[in-house]
Chain A
Amino acid sequence: MTHLSDGALRRHVDEPDGLPDVELDHLQHCERCSRALAQAQRDGMAVEAALLSKSDKDVDIDAAWDRLLSSLHSNARTVATVTVDRPSFRARVLKAPVLAASGALLVVGGATAAAANDWLPIFHTESITPVSVNLNDLTQLPDLSSFGRWDVKTDPKLVDVPDASAATSQTGLTVSTPTDLPTGVDGTPQFQVMQKQVATFAFSERKAAAAAHAAGGSLPPMPPGLDGAVLRLDLGPAVVQTWSQQGGAPTMIIGQVVAPSASSNGIPLATLRDALLSLPGLPDDVAAELRAATGDGTTLPLPVPADQYTTTSAEVSGTPATVLTSRDQTIAGVVWLDGGVVTIVAGPLDAQEVLSVADGLA
């Protein structure tokens, strides 16, 4: 068999039972892997010593507890954030900011129309604009479940399909494929599709007031007609192409999704947007930026963690696009809207590489 990877050897240092028997057997008989394992052990010990965390005094837990209670009482007067029905540690830690952003930002994503008895289109995406946020802002966003009821009508999951033609037949989207691949990206991509997603959000003034009261705050005055107003949000379908290394790590992703739209059965979306932006929990500067960015009912705000990514403007085949680059220069992506479809090209690449792929999509 081939020699053990650096990752497998490193894990063996900490978790000796983690290797399969065949790799364990190889390790016991391979001088090269044994030397690499010994080096990994030495490096691990050296780094552990460098990062040694020691203190010359014990923490005063009672004093720390009093300080925490004081902070919580102080914050409760200004932040009415309540979290409910959060499904798992993984979802909470990894996905909550994304869900909070997409849910809240879709709802606040624009508005113009008047009330009507039937579903009335009140938002459709004609452009995308980045909105700077940081992760703390996102985790402070009010959970919309505290202010009404979400009802997701469909199953938001990606399903594997064999190729581009199958993806097209299941979604109706014309799959864009790259003419050239960047260095380090090769092979055949995995194709996945997501069907159109539909969700409704029914605002409840009673629930919102209870949430604010329970958190020690009070609900700002809500506009007439808001209680019971229902929004319908549509997103997709979507196609995702993923290129991966042999070990499974993605090297490039191309995603296409029919841009989101919103409709209402009883209230202008602007009214709901302004009401949501007035609720406690969202920093004033982020609320102001969202209000300014979404005023025309056609601009989709793209939340960008400002402490992790920078954004620049570019063009993809003559269409305005936003380029995102991680501050550590390890990840880049470009996103643009064309013909009602949002497309993103991203991966552990640089900005020029993702733009080159985007320009070459056929």
Chain B
Amino acid sequence: MARNAGGLVMHPELESIFRAQYPAVVAVARRVLRFEADAEDVAQEVFVSFARSAVPAAEARAWLTVAATHTALNVLRSRRRRVAREVSVAESQESPDAAVQVIEKAEQQRVRDALANLPHKQAVVLVLRYSGLSYADIAETTQLSPSSVGTTLRRAELALRKELSDDPSV
């Protein structure tokens, strides 16, 4: 651990890792939460934890991806009900001209609702895989065997397609 000019204890390679990985961490969270501001909030929270850790630089990308996934999924689940209420209120106030935007928002929201409805481990494996982690990395971080990663991922994809079965885009 190193201390900066302000006397703050932080990861010795924090700034270089932050500058290299921040956009990717935001992208992981955005995949789950959709909204840029929410994704950046999650990324900030993840890097606050990382800053206080002694995670080796070589393991930083996987650590950050896993942390962003768990944090974003927790946010998604906790916000789901509130967002649903807000969408309902907004729909009642929209003019007909905004119908297309409302439909697009609703479809995006359905994807996030479906993601939030998945069993937690399936959702984690799904997000980690589509965030670019290898099966070996996913197995390492979820305590699954590599073959079980494939099984869990397949179940997650089938469950997600079932949840969205009447959505023509999927």
Contacts of A9 in B (CB 8 A): 150, 154
Contacts of B134 in A (CB 8 A): 15
Question: Which of B82-90, B94-102, B155-163 forms part of the interface with chain A?
Answer: B155-163
Which listed residue (A40, A48, A75, A89) contacts B59, Cβ 8 A?
A89
Which listed residue (A8, A53, A248) contacts B150, Cβ 8 A?
A8
Asked if B54 is at the interface of the complex by the 8 Å CB criterion, the answer is yes
Q: Is B54 a contact partner of A83 (Cβ separation < 8 A)? A: yes
Least CB distance from A197 to B in Å reads: 22
A113 to B19, CA, bound (A): 53
Q: Is A14 a contact partner of B169 (Cβ separation < 8 A)? A: no
Q: Is A90 a contact partner of B150 (Cβ separation < 8 A)? A: no
Which listed residue (A47, A53, A90) contacts B157, Cβ 8 A?
A47
Q: Is B66 a contact partner of A93 (Cβ separation < 8 A)? A: yes
Q: Is B160 a contact partner of A50 (Cβ separation < 8 A)? A: yes
Interface members, chain B 137-170 (any A CB < 8 Å): 140-141, 143, 145-155, 157-158, 160-161, 164, 167, 169-170
A85 to B19, CA, bound (A): 25
Interface members, chain A 12-69 (any B CB < 8 Å): 14-15, 18, 40, 43-44, 46-53, 55, 57-59, 61, 64-65, 67-68
Q: Is A307 a contact partner of B74 (Cβ separation < 8 A)? A: yes
Asked whether A84 and B51 contact (CB < 8 A) given A47-B170, A65-B15, the answer is no
Q: Is B49 a contact partner of A89 (Cβ separation < 8 A)? A: no
Asked if B103 is at the interface of the complex by the 8 Å CB criterion, the answer is no
Interface string of A299-340 (1 = CB under 8 A from B): 000000001100000000000000000101010000000000
Q: Is A216 a contact partner of B8 (Cβ separation < 8 A)? A: yes
Least CB distance from A316 to B in Å reads: 27
Chain A residue at smallest Cβ distance from B160: A47
Contacts of B49 in A (CB 8 A): 139
Q: Is B31 a contact partner of A7 (Cβ separation < 8 A)? A: no
Least CB distance from A36 to B in Å reads: 10
A135 to B7, CA, bound (A): 28
Q: Is A53 a contact partner of B19 (Cβ separation < 8 A)? A: no
Least CB distance from B32 to A in Å reads: 8
| Contact residues on B (Cβ < 8 Å of other chain), bracket | 35 or more
Q: Is B147 a contact partner of A83 (Cβ separation < 8 A)? A: no
A93 to B139, CA, bound (A): 12
A57 to B36, CA, bound (A): 9
Q: Is B111 a contact partner of A51 (Cβ separation < 8 A)? A: yes
Asked if A362 is at the interface of the complex by the 8 Å CB criterion, the answer is no
Least CB distance from A187 to B in Å reads: 18
Interface members, chain A 327-359 (any B CB < 8 Å): 328, 330
A308 to B74, CA, bound (A): 10
Q: Is B120 a contact partner of A308 (Cβ separation < 8 A)? A: yes
Asked whether A82 and B18 contact (CB < 8 A) given A10-B153, A15-B135, the answer is no
Q: Is B22 a contact partner of A61 (Cβ separation < 8 A)? A: yes
Which listed residue (B119, B151, B158) contacts A328, Cβ 8 A?
B119
Chain B residue at smallest Cβ distance from A95: B143
Which listed residue (B54, B152, B161) contacts A47, Cβ 8 A?
B161
Q: Is A50 a contact partner of B170 (Cβ separation < 8 A)? A: yes
Q: Is A14 a contact partner of B22 (Cβ separation < 8 A)? A: no
Asked whether A59 and B22 contact (CB < 8 A) given A308-B120, A328-B119, the answer is yes
Least CB distance from A208 to B in Å reads: 15
Asked if B76 is at the interface of the complex by the 8 Å CB criterion, the answer is no
Interface members, chain A 266-318 (any B CB < 8 Å): 307-308
Interface string of A68-88 (1 = CB under 8 A from B): 100111011000011111100
Contacts of A221 in B (CB 8 A): none
Asked if A214 is at the interface of the complex by the 8 Å CB criterion, the answer is yes
* 14 A-B interface contacts by CB (under 8 A): A5-B147, A7-B154, A11-B135, A50-B164, A51-B111, A52-B31, A53-B30, A55-B36, A68-B44, A68-B51, A81-B52, A82-B52, A216-B7, A247-B148
The chain A residues found within 8 Å of chain B, CB to CB, are 5-11, 14-15, 18, 40, 43-44, 46-53, 55, 57-59, 61, 64-65, 67-68, 71-73, 75-76, 81-86, 89-90, 92-94, 135, 139, 214-216, 247-249, 307-308, 326, 328, 330
**Told that A43-B158, A89-B141 touch, could you supply 19 new A-B pairs with CB distance under 8 A?**
A7-B152, A8-B150, A9-B154, A44-B157, A47-B161, A50-B160, A51-B130, A55-B27, A57-B36, A67-B44, A68-B18, A71-B48, A73-B6, A86-B55, A90-B141, A93-B67, A247-B145, A247-B147, A249-B148
What are the 7 tightest A-B residue pairs by CB atom distance, in nearest-first order? Answer: A7-B151, A7-B150, A11-B150, A53-B31, A10-B150, A10-B154, A89-B59
